[in-house]
């Protein structure tokens, strides 16, 4: 939990408030709006590294006191929860009814639901369950002028009006601050297990992923990670340069059948089986992986997210590795292998590279990604690196549309100014 | 007011003379969609084949301040493709090309006029499919599915259209051509694909879409459970969901719906049951027996009197034929019908359904019920005769009462058909002015002049045309 905060991405937070209710939040925002004060919402502080440095933060609004479950209906598989609730607290409540929210963001479960929503955070489980946009079915918001709205409901199917839930998911607090979310939850999926497979190269690991996804198998997650990332899991030494972690969650008989079948596929593609983790070990392994993917809570280093299509996925991974060599940094690479989204964490044991060199490397990577139909987002970097660089790198014509939406919702530009795409 | 001949000649120039319909008798077919209670002919229908043509038509409409709207197969059920204020209908039926099947990224790139079933036909030999399956899949177009965020029986497990659209190319209401989202995952910026999907044609015209393809399940098991009473059937559905089983589909039909299908098709469904539930499990072959066992147990506990498991593909097809034709065959039993699309929480099915029957009984109106029950999505069908004096008004009052019951139970006005011109005046039941104002801000960003499909979704006081 973040008590106070002196700055966000190098921009000082001038004053901080802790509203106790959605009503109080609305009142605070109305006053700030009238006075023309800029505002940033702060939840668990787990995603404040995301975005361009804010232009100013006159008011840091902590939402950690808006917490708790509003309504949980296990029989409808839905839960309504206040935005300041941590994911850990929500999962604990759901566990009592043998249910869970299939969301495993980097940085683990200390994040609040509001923060996860703003950042559209997700993790390897998205392969099977989708991302937050697929789980969110209702929302309550407070907008820049203090007006309060709701959209959606507690129904798994709902087409009454525009799907505002989609608009707010991942909008980084630029259209309003979320006070409550209603989410679809899942029945707990029996037992889980993970196979760690060693491959001589990234293309081999990605090809094997294709074979798995072409087969009848239904993995919860398939992650390709490089040897550096695997070593940091404190796992036994890897026999290959890339490791595929294949996770399943099923009733026992089906689980064993899937593991056997995956072993066969792995053997056929020349992989070595490094490790098989049962239920408890699987939970622990993926929890550690989530922490590691977020840089283990360290604010230093560089974290890039890079999405590619399959045809250029291997080349993208290679470029991300080469960037590490060029910057003389240790590169841990994590790839959602089914959808080709990389997280690349660069760390320096000695002094960090000069900002200019890092920016050059990012620009070059971005050029390659774009040419192949992908994109690159700088998720975490020192303010000196972020300045003079657009962390989002989004310049498509639809940006105009996004600016018009922002103008409609926050004409004075008070909410998280400058943090989002195109200076929104 | 007839269209200025100058405009007609400009339209002919854009798409070719033979691709413009403007004679009153030709326009008749375009005066309504699947929601036949509201009718109004457009002034002209045009059939473009490229995004540039669509863009030029839209720019022309802007120049002359004429309303315009896109239309696919016209199977929508809420008046979404109704030209309420005349103007130009942009019929996308000639844009029906499947551009790309990319199995490595599990995506299909298709034009908006492609029929839903054609995607299945193209992808399924390779083991993939597009999951959303509206009952109209044989005729509905992908563009229409996107506009309405169409659902279908299998959306229970796999989600609705919005969960399966990755990228769009669209002509905005200004005529500008833009790409929304990206084919690679996690496009930065606002989720405009999610916002556009389900916007009922009011935010622009989609001209190309990347659809997510899913792997066909290894194994499918389809069952029919017959119950003495509708209440037992509803309780069984709630019980299955509460037990943590998410079937691929969980459909409910009441006695009258079964009777309609049986009278027309004679499929051998148990016509004397109070209600039947059609239940489909899919997934791993090794996982199905345990799930099926648990499901059967819950059904029996709820007083299920007969349980059939489809042993062959023909038997499975026959069960689904029964469900899919229930609406059409009910139509044969009446002059007119009105189908609802409300959704209620799944743990409140039987109490809401009971109230709906009470309302219909009290009014002396015959009602039959179909439901995507696993989603809580109810399709009560009211049977009536429009030619009887005052009957239409009476039915509309009944519709409002029924929707109110659903909303009070925590439900919503529509699960998959859309609001359109059918339920726009009911939106106040669900939303405050501030809620609607937020949606209006979105419309202002995309469609400030409201020329693009006017008079839909919003109550008329939020609309320029009314």
Distance CA B202, CA B68 (A): 10
Which pLDDT score is estimated for B276?
97
- In chain A, which residue's Cα lies nearest the Cα of B429? A160
pLDDT at A296 over 80: no
Spatial neighbors of B328 by CB under 8 A, at least 6 apart, are: none
Residues of chain B scoring pLDDT < 70: 1-2
**Would the CB atoms of B411 and A153 count as touching at under 8 Å?**
yes
My answer on whether B117 and B197 are in the same domain is yes
What gap in Å lies between CA A152 and CA B379, rounded to an integer?
20
Closest partner residue to A218 (CB to CB) among B179, B284, B377 is B284
**B207, B119: one domain:** yes
Say which of A75, A158, A420 has its CB closest to residue B412: A158
The reply to whether residue B346 touches residue A76, judged by beta carbons under 8 angstroms, is yes
Chain B hits for A404, CB-CB cut-off 8 Å, are 444-446
pLDDT, tens digit (0-9, with 9 covering 90-100), for A122-145: 999 999 999 999 999 999 999 999
- Same domain, yes or no, for B107 and B196? yes
Task: Give the CATH number of the domain where residue B391 resides.
Answer: 3.30.70.2740
Cβ-nearest to A160 among B172, B190, B419 = B419
**Mapped to the 3 state alphabet, what secondary structure does A388-402 carry?**
CCCCCCCCCCHHHHH
- What confidence score (pLDDT) does residue A2 get? 60
CB contact under 8 A, A157 and B343: yes
| Residue A75, C-beta contacts closer than 8 angstroms, at least 6 positions apart | B238, B241, B242, B346, B347
pLDDT of A4 reads 77
pLDDT of residue A331: 94
CATH number at residue B24: 3.30.43.10
- pLDDT at A379 > cutoff 60: yes
Whether the CB-CB separation of B155 and B375 falls below 8 Å is answered with yes
DSSP state of B2: P
CB A56 within 8 A of CB A40: no
Q: Which residue has the higher pLDDT, A274 or A312?
A: A312
Chain B residue numbers with beta carbons less than 8 Å from the beta carbon of A254 are 284, 286-287, 290
Quick one: CA torsion of B350, B353, B355, B358, rounded to 10 degrees?
-120
- Please name the helix (run of DSSP H) or strand (run of DSSP E) that holds residue B109, with its range, or none: strand B107-110
> Which CATH architecture is the domain A191-293 placed in?
2-Layer Sandwich (3.30)
DSSP symbols for A4-24:
--SEETTEEEEEEE--SSHHH
Q: E strands of A167-307, at which residues?
A: 177-184, 186-187, 191-199, 221-226, 242-250, 272-277, 302-307
Total domain count for chain B? 5
Comparing C-alpha atoms, which of A162, A171, A166 is closest to residue B147? A162
Closest by Cβ to A163, choosing from B151, B195, B241: B195
Q: Which of A129, A75, A163, A136 is nearest to B344 (CA)?
A: A75
Distance from CA of A423 to the nearest CA of B (A): 11
Predicted confidence at residue B244, as pLDDT, reads 86
CA distance A99 to chain B (A): 8
Q: Where in the sequence is the domain holding B81, given as residue range(s)?
A: 5-91
What's the pLDDT score for residue B242? 87
Residue pair A158/B343 in contact (Cβ under 8 Å)? The answer is yes
Kind plus residue range of the DSSP H or E element containing B245: none
Angstrom distance (rounded) from CA A24 to CA B381 = 45
Q: How far is B254 from chain A (nearest CA, A)?
A: 21
Choose the mutation target among A214, A398, A416 for the interface with B, i.e. most B CBs under 10 Å.
A398
Of A141, A341, A422, the CB nearest to B185: A341
CA nearest to B400, candidates B338, B462, B461, B330: B338
Compute and round to an integer the Cα radius of gyration of chain A.
22
B224 lies in the same domain as B319: yes
How many inter-chain contacts (A to B, CB under 8 Å) are there? 249
Rounded to two decimals, what is the model's pTM?
0.97
Among residues A260, A97, A262, the alpha carbon closest in space to that of A188 is found at A97
Q: For residue A393, report the phi and psi dihedrals to the nearest 5 degrees.
A: 60, 35
CA distance A294 to A247: 20
Give A-chain residues touching B191 at CB under 8 angstroms.
Answer: 120, 133, 166-167, 169-170
* A161 closest CB neighbour out of B186, B190, B439: B439
Residues of A in contact with B434 (CB under 8 A): 147-149
Task: Look at chain B and count its residues.
Answer: 466
Same domain, B239 and B260: yes
pLDDT of residue A253: 87
Tokens of A172: 């980084």
Predicted confidence (pLDDT) per residue in B428-438, tens digit: 999 999 999 99
Most A CBs within 10 A among B188, B236, B419, hence the mutation to make, goes to B188
Q: Report whether B285 contacts B218 (CB < 8 A).
A: yes
Q: What is the pLDDT of residues A235-277, one digit of tens each?
A: 676 667 999 999 999 888 899 999 999 999 999 998 999 889 9
Whole-angstrom distance, CA of residue A234 vs CA of residue B23: 76
For residue B346, list chain A residues with Cβ-Cβ distance below 8 A. Answer: 75-77, 156
Which CATH number goes with the domain that contains B211?
A: 3.30.465.10
Percent of chain A with pLDDT over 90: 89
User: Given this chain, do its domains A191-293 and A302-381 carry the same CATH topology?
Assistant: yes
Residues B322 and B343 in one domain: no
Question: In CATH, which superfamily holds the domain spanning A302-381?
Answer: EIF_2_alpha (3.30.70.1130)
CATH topology of domain A69-187: 3.30.465
| C-alpha to C-alpha distance for A368 and B17, rounded to whole angstroms | 46
The pLDDT value given to residue A299 = 66
* Residue B132 and residue B159 in one domain: yes
Are A375 and B188 an interchain contact pair (Cβ–Cβ within 8 Å)? Answer: yes
B319 in the same domain as B223: yes
Pick among B194, B221, B440, B447 to test the A interface (most A CBs inside 10 A): B194
Q: How far is Cα B227 from Cα B276, in angstroms, rounded to an integer?
A: 6
**What pLDDT is attached to residue A297?**
65
B190 → closest Cβ in A149, A405, A407: A405
Report pLDDT digits (tens) over A325-359.
999 999 999 999 999 999 999 999 888 889 999 99
Inter-chain CB proximity B199 and A407 less than 8 Å:
no
Contact B330, B337 (CB under 8 A): yes
The residue out of B31, B57, B91 marking a domain boundary is: B91
Instruction: Mutation target for B interface from A50, A130, A144, A156: give the one with most B CBs within 10 A.
Output: A156
Whether residues A75 and B445 touch (CB distance < 8 A) is answered with no
**Residue B176 in contact with residue A330, Cβ under 8 Å?**
no
Please indicate whether, in this complex, the C-beta atoms of B190 and A171 are within 8 angstroms of each other.
yes
User: Computed from CA positions of residues B77, B81, B82, B84, in that sequence, does the dihedral angle turn out positive or negative?
Assistant: positive
Q: Do both B103 and B211 map to the same domain?
A: yes
Can you give the pLDDT at residue A238?
66
Distance CA A333, CA A317 (A): 8
Enumerate the domain spans of chain A: 7-64, 69-187, 191-293, 302-381
- Chain A residues whose CB is inside 8 A of the B160 CB are 157, 159
Residues of B in contact with A311 (CB under 8 A): 104-105
Interchain CB distance below 8 Å, A392 and B413: no
Same domain, B237 and B253: yes
Is the Cβ–Cβ distance between B402 and B381 less than 8 Å?
no
- Residue B126's nearest CA partner among B108, B148, B151, B110 is B108
Residues of B in contact with A206 (CB under 8 A): none
* pLDDT tens-digit series, residues A24-73: 999 999 999 999 999 999 999 999 999 999 999 999 999 999 999 999 99
Set of chain B residues whose Cβ sits within 8 Å of the Cβ of A213 = 106, 215
pLDDT at A225 over 70: yes
Residues of B in contact with A419 (CB under 8 A): none
In whole angstroms, what is the distance from residue A244 CA to residue A208 CA? 9
Residues sharing a CB contact under 8 Å with residue A264, sequence separation 6 or more, in sequence order: none
* Partner-chain contact A258 B246, CB within 8 Å: no
Domain-terminating residue out of B327, B355, B380: B327
> How close is the nearest chain A Cα to the Cα of B345, in Å?
6
Q: Encoding tokens for residue B362?
A: 């009290």
Mean residue pLDDT of chain A comes to 94
**Residues B299, B358 within the same domain:** no
**CA dist list (Å): B13 to B49, B168, B183:** 13, 27, 34
Quote the pLDDT of residue A250: 87
The helix (H) or strand (E) run that includes residue A3 is none
Across the interface, whether the CB atoms of A76 and B184 are under 8 A apart is answered: no
**CA distances from residue B84 to A85, A192, B67, B96, B253 in whole angstroms, order as listed:** 46, 55, 9, 26, 34
From A349's Cα to the closest Cα of chain B, the distance in A is: 31
Residue A295: per-residue pLDDT: 78
Interface probe, candidates B125, B184, B192, B374, chain A, greatest A C-beta count within 10 A = B184
The one-character DSSP state at B184 is S
Residues B437 and B422 in one domain: no
Residue in chain A nearest B146 by alpha carbon: A159
Q: Measured in Å, how far apart are chain B's first and last C-alpha atoms?
A: 16
Measured in angstroms, the CA of A236 and the nearest CA of chain B are apart by 32
């Amino acid at each position: 939990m973040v008590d106070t905060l002196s700055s966000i991405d190098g921009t000082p937070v001038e004053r901080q408030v802790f509203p106790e209710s959605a009503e109080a939040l609305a009142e605070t925002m109305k006053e700030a709006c009238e006075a023309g004060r800029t505002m940033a919402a702060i939840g668990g502080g787990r995603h404040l590294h995301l975005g361009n440095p804010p232009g100013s933060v006159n008011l840091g609004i902590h939402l950690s006191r808006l917490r708790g479950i509003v309504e949980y209906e296990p029989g409808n598989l839905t839960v309504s929860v206040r935005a300041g609730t941590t994911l850990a607290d929500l999962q604990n409540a759901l566990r009592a009814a043998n249910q869970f929210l299939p969301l495993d963001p980097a940085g683990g479960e200390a994040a609040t639901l509001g923060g996860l929503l703003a950042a559209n955070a997700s993790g390897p489980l998205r392969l099977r369950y989708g991302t937050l946009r697929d789980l969110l079915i209702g929302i309550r918001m407070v907008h820049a002028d203090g007006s309060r709205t709701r959209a959606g409901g507690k129904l798994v199917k709902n087409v009454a009006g525009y799907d505002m839930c989609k608009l707010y998911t991942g909008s980084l607090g630029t259209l309003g601050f979320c006070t409550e979310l209603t989410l679809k939850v899942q029945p707990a999926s029996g037992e889980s297990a993970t196979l760690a497979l060693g491959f001589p190269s990234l293309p081999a690991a990605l090809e094997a992923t294709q074979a798995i996804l072409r087969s009848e198998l239904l993995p919860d997650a398939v992650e390709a990670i490089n040897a550096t990332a695997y070593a940091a899991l404190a796992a036994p030494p890897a026999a290959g340069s890339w490791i595929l972690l294949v996770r399943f969650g099923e009733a026992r008989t089906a689980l064993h059948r899937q593991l056997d079948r995956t072993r066969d596929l792995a053997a056929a593609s020349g992989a070595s089986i490094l490790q098989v983790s049962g239920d408890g070990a699987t939970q622990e392994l993926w929890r550690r992986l989530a922490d590691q993917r977020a840089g283990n809570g360290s604010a230093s280093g560089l974290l890039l997210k890079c999405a590619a299509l399959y045809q250029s996925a291997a080349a993208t991974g290679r470029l991300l590795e080469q960037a590490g060599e060029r910057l003389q940094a240790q590169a841990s690479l994590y790839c959602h292998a089914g959808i080709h989204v990389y997280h690349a964490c660069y760390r320096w044991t000695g002094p960090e590279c000069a900002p200019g060199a890092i920016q050059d490397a990012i620009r070059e990577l971005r050029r390659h990604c774009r040419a192949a139909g992908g994109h690159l987002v700088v998720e975490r970097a020192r303010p000196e690196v972020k300045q003079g660089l657009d962390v989002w790198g989004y310049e498509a014509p639809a940006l105009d549309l996004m600016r018009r939406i922002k103008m409609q919702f926050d004409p004075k530009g008070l909410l998280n100014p400058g943090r989002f795409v195109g200076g929104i | 007011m007839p269209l200025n001949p100058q405009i007609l000649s400009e339209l002919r120039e854009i798409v070719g003379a033979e691709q413009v319909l403007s004679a009153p008798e030709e326009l008749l077919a375009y005066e309504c969609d699947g929601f036949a209670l509201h009718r109004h002919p457009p002034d002209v229908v045009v059939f473009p084949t490229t995004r540039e043509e669509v863009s030029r038509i839209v720019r022309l409409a802007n120049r002359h301040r004429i309303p315009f709207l896109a239309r696919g197969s016209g199977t929508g059920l809420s008046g979404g493709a109704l030209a309420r204020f005349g103007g130009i209908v942009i019929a996308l039926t000639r844009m029906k090309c499947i551009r790309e099947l990319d199995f490595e990224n599990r995506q299909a790139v298709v034009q908006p006029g492609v029929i839903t079933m054609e995607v299945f036909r193209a992808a399924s030999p390779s083991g993939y499919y597009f999951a959303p399956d509206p009952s109209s899949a044989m005729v509905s177009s992908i563009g229409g599915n996107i506009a309405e965020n169409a659902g279908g029986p299998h959306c229970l497990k796999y989600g609705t259209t919005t969960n399966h659209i990755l990228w769009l190319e669209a002509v905005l209401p200004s005529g500008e051509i833009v790409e929304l989202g990206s084919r690679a995952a996690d496009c930065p910026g606002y989720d405009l694909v999610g916002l556009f999907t389900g916007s009922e044609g009011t935010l622009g015209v989609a001209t190309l879409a990347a659809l997510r393809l899913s792997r066909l399940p290894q194994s499918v098991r389809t069952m029919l459970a017959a119950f003495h009473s509708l209440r037992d059937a509803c309780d069984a559905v709630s019980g299955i969901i509460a037990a943590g089983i998410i079937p691929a589909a969980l459909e409910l039909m009441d006695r009258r719906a079964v009777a309609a299908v049986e009278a027309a098709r004679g499929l051998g469904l148990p016509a004397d049951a109070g209600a039947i539930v059609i239940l489909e499990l899919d997934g791993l072959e090794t996982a199905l027996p345990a799930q099926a066992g648990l499901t059967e147990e819950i059904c029996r506990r709820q007083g299920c009197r007969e349980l059939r498991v489809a042993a062959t593909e023909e038997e499975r097809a026959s069960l689904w034929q029964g469900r899919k034709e229930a609406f059409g065959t009910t139509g044969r039993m009446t002059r007119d019908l009105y189908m609802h699309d409300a959704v209620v929480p799944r743990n409140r099915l039987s109490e809401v359904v009971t109230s709906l029957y009470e309302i219909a009984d009290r009014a002396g109106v015959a009602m039959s019920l179909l439901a995507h029950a696993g989603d809580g999505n109810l399709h009560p069908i009211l049977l009536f005769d429009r030619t009887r004096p005052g009957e239409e008004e009476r039915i509309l009052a009944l519709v409002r009462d029924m929707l109110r019951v659903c909303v009070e139970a925590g439900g919503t006005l529509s699960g998959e058909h859309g609001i359109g011109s059918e339920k726009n005046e009911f939106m106040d039941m669900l939303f405050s002015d501030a809620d609607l104002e937020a949606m209006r801000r979105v419309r202002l960003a995309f469609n400030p002049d409201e020329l693009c499909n006017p008079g839909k979704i919003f109550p008329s006081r939020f609309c320029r045309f009314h």
